[in-house]
A = this chain, B = another copy of it.
């Protein structure tokens, strides 16, 4: 499946046809944001942007797409429009890899409303998922401290979504991936070990290890739990490691994939060290996530490399981030979406977001959302609680939304995954620890400028019943 402009929800095209008839020149601003950090966490890592921009630059309807829509009742004139469809809008966005928070615009699309509507699904689809996985990866990185992290989830990923999962995992702090396709396309280091089937294909485990070490001595990791980790796998691995030494090679590691990883890794470390193999690393896998790794670390498990699969690439247990795309301005007029729940009311107008920095350049814990054209934001208000506000004059601040696409063309050269991951790491280093802990993390404050809050409240009152 190739992504074309028909990679969208049918209703986008239905609505687009009505816009085409009734307001073909309508100019819209849409906000992309989400309402909750995934995993009950204190922050999220924004990911997926470069993919979106890259696709938007060349997005068209294929002949087959047009034929399908023709068969499904779309009008000839509108189909002619779609045949020449090209996204020509402007996009402001947080930088990919940045630490972001709920209920503030992360990205804004400013475009003809037909174009803005048609790309909605694609944009949500790629940003929601990659942000979910980059955030999960970042949490796993946090718990693994300096441990090496290997993504090995492709077999449990959501079909080809696994390709994007590997990219997002690298952004969130993973060192390498087993996914060859993603490694190649996104220039992520690839790595891997061996499977049980390899050992099973031999009459005996020792011969399997010997053959593997002989024909693939570089980065050789032997899987030691096919029959019995301590009684068979590890003694055989030690034998082969010694044989490798005689040839001038070195075994990289042994992999534990079942049983009690804390107990087995300690035993394994002792046995390896006693055999003079202190350089051989211990790789562990089997349903790992940030909590299991944290526990292993707390137990002092001497694991060097963590292989993480299912829980990483599926973003368990949340499996989704609740990102939305809301109309905030139309032909220069403010727009709002009400809700039974005041917290879900959207913010009108094109906006900018400012991040407050403390005296050391660390994130202070407050992002202020303001109208795009406000020159100075001296105070931010709590979005709903009128008793709360914050004087901003004492802070240095950064504007977080930058223009990344203009008239359908990317403004900046593509940032590589390595570059984005490095940026993300540098941003996380500025986030105080209390936002990173897993249990009841501190809540990063999002406030509104006085002008924005006034505009929003006026609109709420205008529409209330």
Contacts and interface: CB of A to CB of B under 8 A. Distances in A.
A447 to B, nearest CB: 24
B314 A125 contact: no
A332 to B, nearest CB: 12
A258 interface: yes
A103 B11 CA distance: 42
Nearest to A23: B201
Given A18-B211, A192-B14, A197-B327, A6 B181 contact: yes
A335 interface: yes
Interface stretch (A212-220, A358-366, A368-376): A212-220
Contact of A226 (B159, B218, B338): B338
Contacts of A215: 17-18, 21-22
A126 B161 CA distance: 11
Given A9-B180, A158-B161, A259-B340, A465 B232 contact: yes
A185 interface: yes
A465 B231 contact: yes
A250 to B, nearest CB: 16
A200 B465 contact: no
A310 interface: yes
A72 interface: yes
Nearest to A177: B10
B183 A228 contact: no
Contact of A181 (B7, B22, B179): B7
Interface string A1-37: 1111011111111110111011100101010000000
A160 interface: yes
Given A129-B158, A227-B465, A228-B338, A9 B192 contact: yes
Contacts of A191: 10
Oligomeric state, in number of copies? 2
A347 interface: no
A152 interface: yes
B155 A163 contact: no
B258 A129 contact: no
A257 to B, nearest CB: 10
Interface in A150-197: 152, 154-165, 178-181, 183-185, 190-197
B125 A154 contact: yes
Interface residues of A, number: 107
A310 B317 contact: no
Interface string A96-130: 00000000000000000100010011001110111
A146 interface: no
A159 B155 contact: no
Q: Which of A30, A73, A320 has the most CB of B within 10 A?
A: A320
Given A65-B180, A129-B157, A216 B14 contact: yes
A463 interface: yes
A75 to B, nearest CB: 9
B196 A327 contact: yes
B155 A158 contact: no
Given A28-B201, A160-B160, A162-B161, A152 B18 contact: no
A319 interface: yes
Contact of A194 (B15, B30, B165, B337): B15
Q: Which of A9, A30, A130, A216 has the most CB of B within 10 A?
A: A9
B319 A197 contact: no
Contacts of A84: none
Contacts of A463: 227
Interface in A33-49: none
A87 interface: no
A163 B319 CA distance: 16
Contacts of A180: 6-10, 13, 65, 68-69
Given A117-B198, A159-B163, 17 more contacts: A2-B2, A8-B181, A10-B178, A10-B179, A15-B212, A17-B215, A18-B216, A21-B211, A64-B184, A113-B201, A120-B195, A130-B159, A159-B164, A160-B161, A200-B330, A314-B319, A315-B319
28 contacts: A4-B181, A7-B160, A7-B163, A9-B192, A11-B193, A11-B194, A12-B192, A12-B195, A13-B180, A14-B216, A30-B197, A68-B184, A113-B201, A120-B155, A121-B155, A155-B323, A158-B159, A158-B164, A196-B327, A200-B335, A201-B335, A227-B338, A227-B465, A232-B465, A310-B319, A314-B320, A316-B319, A316-B320
